[in-house]
Structure 1
Amino acid sequence: MELQKYFSKFLLKQRKKTLTERDYFLSIELQKILGIEIQNISFYREAFAVKNSSKNHDSNYERLEFLGDSVLGTIISCHLFHTYPKANEGYLTQMKSKIVNRKNLNKLGDQLKLTELLSKSNVITSLGENISGNLFEALIGAIYLDFQYETCKRIVLEKLLTPSEINKLEHKIVSYKSLLLEWSQKKKLNIKYDTCEEIQVNKSVVFRCHVWLENEKIANATETSKKKAEEKSAQRAFYILNKKENILGSPKSL
């Protein structure tokens, strides 16, 4: 046992010598997250690299994000297919959307503190609000290239997005607007959104959205973008209608 410990420490020291300080940091931190020693550091170096405006051809996370998005989609689709053998295509599609939507991926990336793995030279505040979710997908792309599909699937479902976490999403609402559309179609009712720009006292521009059910205005909300205003007003309309119609009982929102 003592001999084994000696060789483990020796190999760790030798490995550290072959890596830069940056690579060694990535290797150690990712092993904590994934529960496995990574094999090819270059994949992860790329997964946590961002564009440099002065070097447009530098490698960055975007290609791995593209790959990770497809790999994650396949893993989740297969998991849902086998977990819900009696579910129809519509239900499976909705569940997948809840799992891989940008808001949920951002939350997962935040929980793993993936932005802390970016190079210190990167200014995180300039990388956009979806950087955590983008890095999450890039990480999955790197894992896939490093270990291939089966190991990647195991890591995703055991470490990054466990079945218990997936189950929590089953009764949560991702889009109130989509939910209202589905409900109105079943009821053969017409729901429409009337959105316009408004200039506030401080001269900032906001968007106000009114939700109409047939000829009745039932809710409204203002937000900084048209999309956010429509979703917020749809959420308010949902709770108003839910008291009368009990559309989905008492759901939770993401």
Structure 2
Amino acid sequence: MRLRAYFSRFLKKKHNRLSEKDKIFKNSLSELLGYPVNDLIFFKEAFTLKSPETKKKNFNYERLEFLGDAVLGCIITSYIFQKYPNANEGFLTQMKSKVVNRKNLNSLGEKLKLTSFLLNKDQNTTLSENIHGNLFEALVGAIFQDVDYDKCRDVILGNLLTQQDIISLENKIISYKGLLLEWGQKEKINLRFETSEENFANKVVHFRSSISIGDKTIAHASEVSKKKAEEKAAQRAFYTLQKKENINGENQKNTP
């Protein structure tokens, strides 16, 4: 207790030496996380973009993103295991994937407005399409460095990702392509994906994907990337097949 009191006084003095900008940054983070942030340096790293300047010191969000990915996976896996005591391994795996997949993390990061915490972003900065999810994982890594595992888990499941957020994902489809392939394998139906590049006059490249069963094409779509084209085509194929076949996006929790 004496040691904790000593470090508490030390951190308080350190806080008093913070610049006005750092105090605002720290107070905003503390309000978001629901606890008084201890060491601001972790969060500064989590909200620093990679640049020629930060690359030299290796001080940007990427290392904490790597750590946060592992910590978040562990916390969510444990939570889902306890939340669904009668669920089979397949359901648990899919639920974890739904929570930690890039699209969902992007949505969470955007909802929390994490890009507003970036320290080295200016008007000319171009952010990647996955920056919200990357920052979410980096923030988890920073929290884990700042407090112990139990506190980190409580902050994530209490302030950043609620129980309702997880429950709402139960019947959500995160990959139509994966769902189609799983259905095809189960029903012994050979689904064939064919994707090719389409080049336009202004050097814009699109990808056209088609899905066939036997010699019949059931859906096709074009997008700016191969992955997006296949997913869009799979979504269209899903709704086409849903009208004719026993195919759906729900997972049976208790199926052996």
TM-score (norm 1): 0.88
Counterpart residue number, 1:193? 193
Q: Once the 2 structures are TM-superposed, how far is the Cα of residue 121 of structure 1 from its aligned partner?
A: 4.4
Mapped to 2, the partners of 1:231 and 1:224 lie a distance apart of 12
- Which one is further off, 154-163 or 51-60? 51-60
The one-letter amino acid paired with 1:68 is G
Describe the shift of the 1:104–1:125 C-alpha distance in structure 2 as closer, same or farther (beyond 3 A).
farther
Counterpart residue number, 1:184? 184
Counterpart residue number, 2:48? 49
- Which one is further off, 118-127 or 237-246? 118-127
Counterpart residue number, 1:27? 26
Counterpart residue number, 1:226? 226
Deviations 1:18-59 (A, max 9, x none): 112332122111111111111111111111112221452221
- Which one is further off, 44-53 or 104-113? 44-53
Q: Once the 2 structures are TM-superposed, how far is the Cα of residue 127 of structure 1 from its aligned partner?
A: 3.1
> What RMSD in Å do the two structures reach over aligned CA positions?
2.0
The one-letter amino acid paired with 1:206 is H
Higher relative contact order (CA 8 A, sep 6+): 2
Q: What fraction of aligned residue pairs are identical, expressed as a percent? A: 53
The one-letter amino acid paired with 1:152 is C
The one-letter amino acid paired with 2:20 is E
SS in structure 1 of the partner of residue 38 of structure 2: coil
The answer as to 2:36 corresponding to 1:37 is yes
CA contact (8 A) 1:193 1:209 kept: yes
Counterpart residue number, 2:156? 156
Mapped to 1, the partners of 2:13 and 2:230 lie a distance apart of 57
SS in structure 2 of the partner of residue 36 of structure 1: coil
The one-letter amino acid paired with 1:238 is F
**Which consecutive aligned stretches of 4+ in structure 1 deviate over 3 angstroms post-superposition?**
13-17, 120-125, 200-203
TM-score (norm 2): 0.88
Query: Any gaps of 5 or more consecutive residues in structure 2?
Result: 1-11, 252-256
Matched positions, count: 239
Q: Once the 2 structures are TM-superposed, how far is the Cα of residue 120 of structure 1 from its aligned partner?
A: 4.8
